[in-house]
Structure formats: structure tokens, C-alpha cells
Amino acid sequence: MKVSVILGHPYEKSFNHAIANVVMEALLTSGHEVHFHDLHKEGFDPLLRGEELVADRSEDPLVRTHWAEIREADGIIIVHPNWWGQPPAILKGWLDRVLREGVAYMFPDDDDGSGLPIGLLKAKAAIVLNTSNTPEERENNVFGDPLERIWKDCVFDFCGVTTFHRRMFRTIAGSSSEEREEWLDEVRDIVNDTFPQLS
């Protein structure tokens, strides 16, 4: 299977990078074709400018590469920390520019854009792996777990991806190296369950 892996974190020694490394290792070991993008490292420009908003093409070759890959992907894995209950801005910009109308979703011909979308993504499964410092009870009861709404409902359901798995690793601050190793083992299991070994 073709799997797109998108990482939104600026620091190479972060736990998010460790997660992404395990994701890559698991997918490659199972024989999948992987398109990996460390958005900061590749210098992804998150700004959706006016001329691109109103056109159906992009002058940015990196955006065109992302479009081609995401259209072809059988699976998508997103890795990022919880920043203000949202993805980091670079990843928000990836959403704006890459998962755009005509690539990830469309509206029926007789619809003005306010109706129900038609998901265009070929991917049948998506995994979102997050990190945060807020305990689960506070995240759910005080903040309402906005990342679940964003990724499950606003993004992947909207774009027609039917199988969705999200895991928030917490709390990163103060976690022991043993805890982190266990979390990375869990990452491996999640990836292997969703994208099993190719025979």
C-alpha cells in the first residue's frame, strides 16, 4: 500500500520525531511504499495565498507533489503535538493548501458549497498520533478534545476516509524513558494493525 506520513514538528530530537521514526520503520518493514514529509525540514510554506485560493493549480512544486501523493495514498498518517488545541501552524497550512477542493473533496454540481461534500481521497484509513501535556480528564472536560473533532470529523470524514484511529500520548512533560518506550511500542502496534504486513 502507498502510505503518506506527514510530520508537523520543528525539533529533530522531539518525541514527535521519535514517533515518526517508528511509524516509518514499521511501514517499511511491512513492505509498504511510504511518502514521508517532515514539513519543517522540507520548508513547506503554509500560507495559502489569494492567487492559489482562486485557481485550480499551484505555482509551488512542493504543493503539486503533495497533491499527487495524497491523491494516490491508500493510507495517511499524521504526527503532531497539541499546540493550543490545534495542529501547529505549518500543518494547518498543509491542510489549507493540500487537502483542498478538487483534491480531497468536492461538492455536487448543483451545490453552492454549503451542502454535503463528496470525499475524494482514495485513502481508506487514517491514523493521527498526537502528544500533549494535559491530562485526559481535563482535555475532555475542559477543552472538549478539539483535535478529535478537527481530524475525525472536519478533515477525514469530510474527505471520505472511513477508518480513523487517533491516539494522544500524554503527558509528555515528566514522562520516563520507560513510558516513552512503551508508547513507541504502541505506535508500532497501531501502525501494524492498520497497515499489516504485505504478503
Ligand X SMILES: Cc1cc2nc3c(=O)[nH]c(=O)nc-3n(C[C@H](O)[C@H](O)[C@H](O)COP(=O)(O)O)c2cc1C
Q: List residues binding ligand X (CB under 6 A).
A: 9, 14-16, 81-85, 131-134, 172
The minimum distance between CB 189 and ligand X, in angstroms, equals 20
The minimum distance between CB 165 and ligand X, in angstroms, equals 19
Cβ proximity to ligand X, 4 vs 130, nearer residue: 130
Cβ proximity to ligand X, 90 vs 121, nearer residue: 90
> Pairing between strand 105-106 and 118-119?
antiparallel
Task: Compute the distance between CA of residue 94 and CA of residue 13 in angstroms, rounded to an integer.
Answer: 22
> Pairing between strand 2-7 and 33-38?
parallel
The minimum distance between CB 193 and ligand X, in angstroms, equals 23
Cβ proximity to ligand X, 124 vs 180, nearer residue: 180
The minimum distance between CB 151 and ligand X, in angstroms, equals 15
The minimum distance between CB 185 and ligand X, in angstroms, equals 17
Cβ proximity to ligand X, 83 vs 107, nearer residue: 83
Helices (H), the chain: 15-29, 50-53, 61-72, 89-98, 136-138, 146-148, 177-194
Cis before residue 131, ω within 30 degrees of 0? no
Cβ proximity to ligand X, 4 vs 82, nearer residue: 82
Q: Does residue 30 contact residue 197 with C-beta atoms inside 8 Å?
A: yes
> Residue 2: enclosing H or E segment and its boundaries?
strand 2-7
3-state secondary structure of 105: strand
